[in-house]
Structure formats: structure tokens, C-alpha cells
Structure 1
Amino acid sequence: MVRNYDLKIFCHSDSAVTYVTWLDELLIFHKIKEFAEWILKVGNGELCEPNDGEADIPIPKDLLIESEQDPVSDIINYVYPDYIARLYEKNYFEDRAILAPTLETVNLINDRMLNTLPGNERVYLSSDTICQADLNPNISPELYSPDFLNRIKISGLPNHNLTLREGALVMLLRNVDQQQGLCNGTRLQVKRLCEHVIEAIVISGSHVGHITYIPRMKLTSSNKKLPFQFQRRQFPLSVCFAIPINKSQGQSLGRVGLYLPKPVFTHGQLYVALSRVKSRQGLKVLICDQQGHPTNHTTNVVYKEVLQGL
């Protein structure tokens, strides 16, 4: 039998503090394990069985942003609260990102945030030419005017019209200097916009804080849907406050906002997005139905034959 006197002594002892700390750590471990198991079920297509192909799955309520007015602003405010006031705060942007399944949605968010930055703006135009060696001999080069080439937008290539502001987040689209950590997918923050180079600070990878200078480069398209290859001479950068889900692979982030105005459409895409975050507390998902209203269900795409033998 434990007397009140004994209980008071225990509650004020080092043993009590250790016991409470141990319980807290056990609870944290349990929550991490539970979250990891849920993500694995998403990746393996084990939620709402059978899931061999497309399946509609629920997202837990604590992970949802339920927006009725302006979903883009809500997802921005979650991932980047007070970002204008904290624009040059050290490590603020280092492990934050908004993810979306389509370039259309990514560009919408990036344009919104870029236009709010107070820094100087500069527009860089590319020089586009057809690779003559790869041109179909039965097609005249005159059919592809500079205006036509300038309008081409392809994942993995910068746009002809690259608009940047000081303070903007950008992502490298090519390997520039691997020894300096300047690889495809490295994120940087623009410090200064010059005529022939862009000064930026590295905010991801192994060289965080390193100041670098990015030049223009000749970049060749590898898109198989085009009947030709063309070269674009441009800075190998794209704005990356928001990034496509597929471009986020390999990253580990502290705060992730997943915006789904349209469902994911490829195998494992939802799993890739959800597994970028380090903890449950750092993840929020904003899902909209076809009418633009928030919902708690989304599409998960998993083809079981892809997972066989793994």
C-alpha cells in the first residue's frame, strides 16, 4: 500500500522525473511508428483494399488544411509563415517546401509568392535553336520559328522567360559543380541578379551557406514527345517555393505542404510526397474536389506488379 507521504516523496524525486521523461519518449516513439506505418500502407496500396491501380483513400483529419476561401494562401501561410519578414533569416527556407503533382499548380504558387517579394526583379530571356543533327530531314527547319521554340515549356528545362527577384528560392536543373554541391535538384536563394551570372546562397545539400555564382548554360531537351531536340541557352534555374512531387525525391524536409487541387496520377506519387517530411507535425495536406471545395479523400495510385520482387 502506497501512503500519501510516500507518493509525495516519489513525485519530487529524480526517479519521478526520469519516469515521466521515459513515458514522454515512449509516446513520441509510438506516434512516429504509427505515422511511419501509415505512410508505408499508402506506399504499398494497403489502405482501403483492394488497391491495385487507383483507389480513393481518406487522409487523417489532423493532417488536413480545410480551406474555403483561398487555398493557395492557406498552403503558403502554413509552410512559409511571415516569409517576407523572415526572407533573409538564416535556415528559414532550408527544410520547407510546397509539393504539388502538376507543373500548372507549381507555377501558380511560385508566381504568387514571387510577385510578393520586395526585392528587385529581372527578366532573363533564353536563346533557343534546333539541334540540326537530330532534325528530321523530311521537315524544314523554317517550320520552327524562334517564337515557337520560345513558347516550349518542358519539365527539366528553364522557361524562355525566366523572371526572378532577389530573395527568391530557385532550384538547379543541371549538375553545375558536384564538388561544390551544385547538383541537379539543389535549392538556392537568390542574393543578386547580374547580367551574366546570378549570385545565390546554397540552402540544401552538403554545402548549406555557400555563396555561388550561376552562369548561363546550353541546355538540351531530352523530351521524346518532340520530333526534334533543341538547345536553350539560359540560366539552369527554376523558382522553387513550390516544386513538383517527382522533383522532391531524396529530400528530407521539416515542413511540407501537399497541395492537391487535382489527384496524383502516377504510381507511388502520393507516397513520395508524404514520405518527404520528417515528422507528422510537419505535414499538412490540402485536397480540393472538382468544384474547388476542400475534402478529406484523395486518389492513391499503386500498381501491385511494380512492387513484386522488392
Structure 2
Amino acid sequence: MAPKRALEVVDSKLREIMGTNIPGGAKIILCGGDFRQCAPIIENGTTEEIIGISVCCSPLWNHFTKFKLTKNVRALPNENEFKQFLVEVGEGTYGENPKEIEIPQECMSKGDIIDEIFGDVMENYDPATVMKRAILATWNEDVDGLNEQVVDLLDEETEVTYHAQDVYHYGDEILQSVGEIHQNYKTRNIKGLPSFNLRVRKNSIVMLIRNLSIEDGLCNGTRLVVTKLLKHNLVVKKINIDSTLSEEILIPRISLTAKHGVVDVTRHQFPVKLGFCMTINKSQGQTMDKVGVVLNHECFSHGQLYVAFSRVRSKEGLKVVTAEDKSTTANIVYKKLLELSKK
């Protein structure tokens, strides 16, 4: 998802530091990625614009030696059919109509997607098990609604709602954070900001939306389990590789700013969102045992369906909900981007 500008900035800085005009400052740069996954994001961008900012369209791309990883180590060893299915979805070659693919019948949800993914683990709650499950959707609106439903399955007596403080800027002018504008914004989930009213219960899974400490692994996208709800802090734990819980970590409130229309909103709130459900783009890099994919709104960008389906280790662990119970869904693949990446 990194745009070519990010690579070119690193290249420029390395050349400056090393006092040479050799690409990468004569240093070895190792990159990894899969061009079947989501492409860089340009808001309201055309297909050509998105392809044009990809790293494979940078002049630096020709200086790289390309190595291919051909073995799927996320999927279980015996899931050969599932592995082939994922490759064909990612390449845009699956089925008779690759742009509108037929979802395998065994992957279709039987009804309540929340019960199918989380129902059997909520009574005997084990954070490590819950963390290996998630529901994915294309729109933030769908994700927020699903997260609220999953939180309702936890112990109601432990619930705390944290209210944010907002300041609104229009140019250099600070708008009053009371009255109609405040009521309008606090009821909305603004892209890039936590909820104004953050409703959390003990054992909730939350996801960081900012880098807090890269050294400690507290990065944007890290999922954590809430163990205590204090007045001014959230106490959370990470799940270690061996499925044990880490030491307690304090998450403070911080001020975050995002543009919403013509207004800049600065919100003082915990930098987390509920993490039982997440957008498909946010799920990149995750490996799950069970994944529900809610396609009330179909995929709208390159690689989203491939990313959603490939988060899980087996076809048995994948359940899909479509709008109006359709058996097909859109699969958007930019063939030109895949061709350029192979050059």
C-alpha cells in the first residue's frame, strides 16, 4: 500500500546522507509485499491514478532484483484447493466471470455471522482465542455497527463509556465546541478519529489507531485486550506469540486531529477503536483462525476481496455474508498493476 513517493523520499535521504548519487545511497534496501493486495489509496482517485502512484511505477523499481515467494504459509498445509482459490481470486482469473465471482457454497454464512464467528468463545472467554477471530467489512459504518453488537455479548456490569473533548478549527479560527456544531460532530464517526463516545467493557478487543511505541510493538493496527477500565486510562494487554498475555500496558488519552469537510476536528480521546470487527484494508497482515466477511457493500478497490479471503487459514474458517443473500460478489483486480509489478 506504500505509494512510490514514500520509497523515493527514503532514496533521496539516503543519497544525501551518503553523499552519492547511487540509488539507495549504495545501501541495500529490502522490501516485501504482494501486489494482489490493496493498492495505495487516493481519495476519489481513478484506476490510472492509483496504479500511477504504486511503487512499481517509480523509476527506482528497475533497480530492484525481484524474488518470488511461491508457498502459502498462512493457509494450513492440507488446504491446497483453498490456496489455489486464493491465487485465482487475487489474479482475477477465478470462475467464468472473474469480475463477479461465485462464492463457494461452504463459505456462505448460515445466518447470524456474529454467532458463527464469536458465539462459541464468549461464554468461556479466552482473549487469545478471540483475538484469532474477526469480522471484516468494506465500510467503516458497517464495522462500527458490528463492533457494537459484539460488545453487547460481554459482561454488561463492566461497561464504561468514555466521552471525548472536541475542538473545531476553521482556518485559524477556533469554533465554539458547544451548540449545534458539537451535537453534529459528536454523533458522527469521523475517519481517522476514535469515537466521541467510546463504549468499552472488560475483555473488549481494541485496536490502536496511532503509533504509540514502535519499540514495544504498540503500532497503528495492533490489537489489544482490555483488562481494566480506569477513569483516565485503559489498562490493556498484548497477546504474545505463545498465546500468553503480556504485562499490563496503560493507554492514555491523547489529542488527535483530522479534517472533516472544511473543519479540522481535534479530539481528546483514547487512540483506540473496538477491534472485534475491522475494515478489510486494516486487516492486512493479520492471520486468523475464523473470519467473517460482511459484504453489505461490495468491494470497491483492487485486492480487497483477496485480502479478506486470505486472512484465514482454511476454507472452513471463512464465512461470507452478502447483500440480499446473493451468491456472487464483485472482485476488482487491476491487471495492469499486476503486470507492472512483474517487470
Q: TM class by shorter-chain length?
A: 0.7 to 0.9
Aligned with 2:287: secondary structure? coil
Pair 1:78-2:113 in alignment: no
Aligned partners of 2:276 and 2:90: how far apart in 1?
Answer: 25
Residue type matched to 2:270 in 1? Answer: F
C-alpha distance in 1 between matches for 2:335 and 2:159: 48
The answer as to 2:302 corresponding to 1:274 is no
Residue 172 and residue 204 in structure 1: after superposition, are their counterparts in 2 closer, same or farther (change >3 A)? farther
On the 8 A contact 1:181/1:205 being kept in 2, the answer is no
Residue in structure 1 matching 2:218, options 169, 173, 182: 182
Q: Please report the TM-score for the alignment, with normalisation by the length of structure 2.
A: 0.70
Which residue of 77, 102, 110 maps to 1:58? 102
Contact 1:86 1:92 in 2 (8 A): no
CA-based RMSD: 2.5
2:94 to 44, 47, 55: 47
Q: Which runs of 5+ in 1 are unaligned?
A: 1-27, 68-73
* Alignment of structure 1 residues 84-103 onto 2, 5 Å: 84-87=122-125, 89=126, 91-103=128-140
CA deviation digits over 1:106-134, x for unaligned, max 9?
Answer: 12221112123114111111111134xxx
The correspondence for 2:79, drawn from 32, 35, 38, is 32
Task: Tell me the SS of whatever aligns to 2:151.
Answer: helix
The unaligned stretches of length 5 or more in structure 2 are: 1-75
CA distance in 2, matches of 1:84, 1:234: 27
In the alignment, structure 1 residue 297 sits paired with structure 2 residue 341: no
Closer, same or farther: CA 208–244 of 1 in aligned 2, 3 Å: farther
Range that drifts further, 158-167 or 98-107 = 98-107
1:50 to partner: Cα distance? 6.3
Letter of the aligned partner of 1:37 in structure 2?
A: Q
Q: How does 1:185-204 map to 2 (within 5 A)?
A: 185-203=221-239
- Residue 306 in structure 1 maps to residue 337 in structure 2: yes
Name the SS of the counterpart of 1:82 in structure 2: coil
- Superimposed CA distance per residue, residues 161-209 of structure 1 (whole angstroms, 9 cap, x where no aligned partner): 1111112111111111122211111111111111110111213779961
Secondary structure, counterpart of 1:251 in structure 2: coil
* Number of residue equivalences: 262
Gap change, CA 1:181 and 1:226, over 3 Å in 2:
same
Kindly tell me: are residues 207 and 172 of structure 1, through their superposed partners in 2, closer, same or farther at Cα, counting changes over 3 Å?
A: farther
1:61-210 matched pairs, under 5 angstroms: 61-67=105-111, 74-87=112-125, 89=126, 91-118=128-155, 119-131=157-169, 135-136=170-171, 141=175, 145-203=181-239, 209-210=245-246
Matched residue SS, 1:267: coil
Q: Judge conservation of contact 1:189–1:201 (CA < 8 Å) in 2.
A: yes
| Structure 2 CA distance for partners of 1:220 and 1:64, relative to 1, 3 Å | same
**Hey, what's the Cα distance between the residues in 2 that align with 1:77 and 1:174?**
30
1:256-308 deviations in whole A, cap 9, x for unaligned? 1112222112221111101111222321222232xxxx232111112223323
Counterpart position of 1:11: none
Residues 1:255 and 1:285: Cα distance change in structure 2 (over 3 Å):
same
Letter in 1 for 2:262: P
1:216 and 1:235 in contact (8 A); partners too? yes
Alignment partners' CA distance in 2, 1:50 and 1:146: 48
Q: Report how far residue 90 of structure 1 moved.
A: 5.2
Aligned AA for 1:96? R
Residues 99 and 242, structure 1, Cα contact 8 Å, conserved in 2: yes
Q: Is the 8 A contact 1:220 1:230 kept in 2?
A: yes
1:122-158 deviation digits (Å, cap 9, x = unpaired):
1111111134xxx336x88469833334234223310
Change (3 A) 1:150 1:204: farther
Q: Which structure is larger by alpha-carbon Rg, 1 or 2? A: 1
1:256 to 291, 299, 304: 291
Distance 2:199 2:128 in 1: 24
8 Å contact from structure 1 (residues 263, 298) kept in 2: yes
Partner SS state of residue 331, structure 2: strand
